[in-house]
Amino acid sequence: MQIDALETHEFFQEIFNHTERRKAGGFVVISGVNSSLGSGKTSLACALYYALNNYWGTECIPEKHCHMSASTYLDAWSEAKRKTALILDEANVFGLEASRHMSKEALTLGHMVQVQRVKQIWTITTSANWAHLTKRVRELANYNLVCTENPGTVQAYKVIVSFGDGKTKRKRIGQPFKFPSTENTEAYQYLAETKDKFLAQFKDGFDDLITGKSGAKTEKEIRSIAQGEVYHKMTTKENSNLSKDEHVKMITFSKGMGVSDIKPRRDRDAYLKSISTTTKAAEPIYIP
C-alpha cells in the first residue's frame, strides 16, 4: 500500500528526515474539516500505516499495531520495534478527549507521546476535530492531516508551539494530496471489527460510563499512576525491545523534571499497586 505522493510530497519527506536525521519518532493527528463524518480519516490512517511500515521494511501486523484502546495501545508501544507505525483510532473517544484531560488514560497517553521519540515510533491517531484532543497532545503532536469533506483528499499541517506563550499553531505543508481507499485492507477491517466490539461494551456498561464507579481516585492519584506507568514501561527490561543503552534510569527522569528521584519511584510503585491483583503484590516494590 502506497500513497500517490509518497516520494514527492513535503509531508512525507519531513517524516522521513525527522526519523532518520533526528533519530526520533512522533505523533500524527488525522482530523476532518467541520468535524465531518465519513471523510476518510480511518482510511487515511491505514494508508499511512502501510506506507510508512513498508518504507521502513517493518512487517504490518494489524492485530499488534492497530488499536482503539488506550491500554492495548500502550502495551503495543512498549513491545514495538524501531521504525514502526501504530494506529490509535478515535483517540478523542478512547482516551485523549479534551474534556477527560485528567483521566488516567489521557494522562498516561500524554506522557507516552512525550517520551515515544526515544524508539523512533510514529503513532497515527484519528479524531473528529483537532480541538477535541487534550492540550498536551496537541502541543506534542508533530503533524495534523486534515481530511476535506470530499473523501480521498487531505491537507497536511506542521504543528508549531510558540516558545513564548506555548500556544499551538499549524503551518500548511504543500498542497492537498490524494490518498487511496483502504476499506478492503486487513488493518481497516480489523479496526472496524474492534470498533463494533467497543460500541457493544459501551452499550452494556452505559450506566457505569455515565455515573462512574465508587471509589474514584483523586486527580493527584490519577496523575501519579499515569506517570508511573510511563516510568515503568521506560525502565523495565522485561518484554521490551529497547536496547541496553535506550533504557532510561529513574535518575534521568528526576534530573529532567528537576525533582528528587524518589518521586518517579513512588509514581511507578503507585502504578504497580494499581494493577496488582493480590494484597501481597500490592506492596510497594522498589526497583533500582
Query: What are the DSSP calls for 28-74, one per residue?
Result: EEEEEGGG-TTSSHHHHHHHHHHHHHHHHT----HHHHEES-HHHHH
β-sheet bridge partners, residue 154:
147, 177
Residue 255 pLDDT: 60
Model confidence band, residue 17 (pLDDT cutoffs 50, 70, 90): confident
210-250, pLDDT tens digit by residue? Answer: 555 545 556 567 667 777 777 777 776 554 555 554 445 66
26-39, pLDDT tens digit by residue? Answer: 889 999 887 667 78
Q: Look over the chain and give the mean of its residue pLDDT values, rounded to a whole number.
A: 75
Pair 64, 101: CB distance under 8 Å: no
Q: For residues 189, 190, 196 and 202, what is the CA-based torsion angle, rounded to 10 degrees?
A: -150
Residue 199 pLDDT: 72
Residue 259 pLDDT: 63
Residue 1 pLDDT: 46
56-110, pLDDT tens digit by residue? Answer: 999 999 999 998 877 788 788 888 888 899 999 886 554 444 444 445 555 566 6
Tell me the residue type at 285: I
Pair 91, 105: CB distance under 8 Å: no
Residue 12 CA, chain-centre distance (Å), reads 19
Q: Residue 91: name the closest of 131, 34, 61, 51 by CA.
A: 131
Please give the grid coordinates belonging to residue 58.
517493518
Gyration radius (Cα) of the chain, Å = 19
Q: Beta 143-147 vs 153-161: how paired, if at all?
A: antiparallel
Give the Cα separation of 219 and 203 in Å (integer). Answer: 27
Residue 16 pLDDT: 85
- Percent of the chain, pLDDT > 70? 66
Model confidence band, residue 203 (pLDDT cutoffs 50, 70, 90): low
| Most trustworthy range by pLDDT among 44-58, 95-109, 130-144 | 44-58
Please give the grid coordinates belonging to residue 287.
526497583
Give the Cα separation of 224 and 192 in Å (integer). Answer: 33
Model confidence band, residue 201 (pLDDT cutoffs 50, 70, 90): low
Class level of CATH domain 10-211: alpha beta
Give residue for cell 514502526.
84
β-sheet bridge partners, residue 160:
169
The string of DSSP codes covering 178-192 is E----TTSHHHHHHH
255-273, pLDDT tens digit by residue? Answer: 655 666 677 788 888 888 8
Residue 288 pLDDT: 40
